[in-house]
Structures are given as structure tokens and as C-alpha cells.
Structure 1
Amino acid sequence: MHVTIIGSHLCADTLYAINVLAARKVDITFQNLSASLADLKAYLALRESSSLFDGPKANGTLGIPCFILEDGFTTLELEEVLVRL
């Protein structure tokens, strides 16, 4: 299974998720918001258009890491990704 992880190399939760998924030999694409303005712009468009981010926005957090599975399922929860593997 392929998983796109949107996050930052400065975020401990993002780094943890990358390590967990890599240890399970998951095919990962990492979109590093701290290193790519194009990825940041695409993420902001997703964040503004999806109710998935209502909680993080209300709490003043970014909503990363964000996981997008190859079937389009999108979540902010690593556990949900692990269940679907």
C-alpha cells in the first residue's frame, strides 16, 4: 500500500509516523511542508476545503501529520492507517 504523509521534519509526530510506516515496509511519499512551498500551498488548500481539519483549526494546531492512502482515504490518525494496512 502507498501512503502519502504530509507533515514536517520539524514535527515529532510526523517523524514517528514515518518511522513506524517505514518499519512496516509501507511505500511512503513524504510531503515536507517545511521544505517545499508547493507542498505547503497544496496542503493549505486541502486543509481549508476539508472538514477533517475542523478540530485542528479550532484547537489552533496544524493538523499534521496527515495521511492520504492510495484509495483516497485521508486521516490525521496513524492508528487508522495501521488498521487499513
Structure 2
Amino acid sequence: MIVYGTPLCPDCVEATAALDARGIHYEYVIITESIVALKQFTRLRDTHPAFDAAKKDGYLGIPAFVREGKVSMDISDVLDSAL
């Protein structure tokens, strides 16, 4: 699983802590760490319909969880499927 986010975002910090607490393995792409990471995220955000509501409401759309081609911004989707 890939998690897009930043330590500057309280929701991202909370989400990665929850994943760590459950021992769920993930690759954390910190979008504020490099231009490459930011471009990777914005490419996904600009092309995937899962972000439509977030963009409409003026949100960035992080944390974003990508697993097996599915994209979610809801940590409960990830935690529930890990049970």
C-alpha cells in the first residue's frame, strides 16, 4: 500500500500512527519532501475520480491510500480491510 501525505497534516500523522499501531506495512510518500513526490501525487489526484469530491470541496485529498489500484482517503477503509 502507498500512503500519500505529509507530516505537516494532522490527519496524515494520525493515519500513519494508526497504521503503525496495527502493524500495517505501507510506503509513505511525503508529498512535501520533494518535487518528484509532489508530482507523483498530483498526477494521481488530477486523474483519479476518487479525488473529485475533495477537489470540489477545496481539499488536497490527503492522506490518500492506494492499494491494489483502489484509492481512498478514509483510514477506516484501510483499517477495516486489515482485520
Q: Give deviations 1:55-83, integer Å, cap 9, x for gaps.
A: 111111100000012x2221110001111
Could you tell me how far apart the structure 2 residues matched to 1:46 and 1:73 are? 11
| Secondary structure of 2:26's aligned partner | strand
Supply the AA of the counterpart residue of 1:78: I
The correspondence for 2:73, drawn from 66, 73, 76, is 76
| Secondary structure of 1:5's aligned partner | strand
Could you tell me how far apart the structure 2 residues matched to 1:82 and 1:73 are? 14
Percent of residue pairs identical: 30
Deviation at 1:14, TM superposition (A): 0.3
Structure 1 residues without counterparts, runs of 5 or longer: none
TM-score by length of structure 2 reads: 0.93
Which runs of at least 4 in structure 1 moved beyond 4 Å after TM superposition? none
Instruction: Tell me the C-alpha RMSD between the 2 structures.
Output: 0.9
Aligned to 1:56: 54
TM-score by length of structure 1 reads: 0.91
Structure 2 residues without counterparts, runs of 5 or longer: none
Residue 36 in structure 1 maps to residue 34 in structure 2:
yes
Aligned to 1:26: 24
Could you tell me how far apart the structure 2 residues matched to 1:59 and 1:8 are? 20
Count residues in correspondence.
82
Supply the AA of the counterpart residue of 1:58: K
